[in-house]
Amino acid sequence: MPVLAVLLGFLDLITIAHVIKTDRERYWISVILFFPVIGALTYFAVEMLPDLRKTRTGRRVVKKFNDTIDPQRELRRLSRNLRIADTIENRIQLADECIEREMYEDAISLLKESLQGLNEHSPDIMLRLARVYFLQEHYIQTKQTLNELIAENPDFKSKEGHLLYARTLVKLEEYDSALEEYEILVTYYPGLEALGRYGLLLHKLGDTEKAQHMFNTILDKMELLPRDAQHMEKQWIDYAETHLAPSAKIAKS
């Protein structure tokens, strides 16, 4: 019981701090203090939750919270929407939910059904389908889908699609072609992932000098990133620090 009391008190403190930090109406402080827990939960629902839903990170937090309470809630909602109106938008939204839940066969079925009529060669849908094949480790189908996407939509540009294509070539051990794709990718891909994957591939193939250059570039760019961006790119920063030669690390310091 004492532990629960501490946790509930902490909840009240967090919400009061949020009132002050975000300059909300001060009457909320009285509501939270006079109605412990209930006041805090009410404030969260009325003031904090709408703000969370405006950001990508916030939406993930809200979704995770909802999934914890009722794991099938979003899946049921999207399935119901599709039954009410069998539209491309509703089908794609349900497919995305299936992908997130690793229900890959269901996602593939929904995406293939969507590739009809005017959307027969929709690049966005085809790219989604390629991603699912990649997640299933069906790399030949991934490459075939991406090649068809490019052939049918020669003007379509997608940095994520380009990265997926390069990663697929690596999985298929088509290393020369993968190196060519990464050589282009690192010139325009935002963030550090393309540099990191290129560096790891070079390291794997024994091109140590060029790999070290990629890892050094990652660490140079890291210093220019704000703290939250560094947190998002932590995986690639860690890879660079792990694979950087000891002499290069000393030079950096």
Q: What three-state secondary structure class fits 96?
A: helix
Distance CA 230, CA 73 (A): 33
> What letters, b where the CB count within 10 A reaches 16 and e where it falls short, cover 84-94?
eeeebebbbbb
Q: If you ran DSSP here, which 8-state letter would residue 46 be given?
A: I
Question: What pLDDT sits at residue 125?
Answer: 97
Q: pTM score, two decimals?
A: 0.73
Q: What three-state secondary structure class fits 62?
A: helix
Sign of CA dihedral 130, 131, 135, 139: positive
> Treating both helix axes as pointing N-terminal to C-terminal, what angle do 208-222 and 234-243 enclose, rounded to 10 degrees?
140
Question: What pLDDT sits at residue 60?
Answer: 57
The CA angle 124-128-132, to the nearest 5 degrees, is: 170
For the chain, count helices (H), then strands (E): 17, 0
Distance CA 184, CA 187 (A): 6
Per residue in 120-132, pLDDT (tens digit) is: 999 999 999 999 9
Distance CA 129, CA 99 (A): 10
* Under 8 Å between Cβ of 218 and 237: yes
**Identity at 52, one-letter amino acid code:** L
Task: Give the number of other Cβ atoms within 10 Å of residue 194's Cβ.
Answer: 24
Please tell me the total number of residues recorded for the chain in this structure.
253
Instruction: Look at the block and give the residue holding tokens 């140590």.
Output: 208
Distance CA 197, CA 193 (A): 6
Which of 149, 150, 158 has its CA nearest to residue 129?
149
Instruction: Look at the block and give the residue holding tokens 């310091």.
Output: 253
Distance CA 117, CA 62 (A): 36
Report residue 9 as tokens.
């008190």
Distance CA 9, CA 3 (A): 10
Instruction: Look at the block and give the residue holding tokens 């509501």.
Output: 31
Report residue 190 as tokens.
């935002």
Weakly modelled stretches of the chain, pLDDT under 50: 1, 58, 247, 249-251, 253
Report residue 244 as tokens.
């950087």
Question: What pLDDT sits at residue 174?
Answer: 98
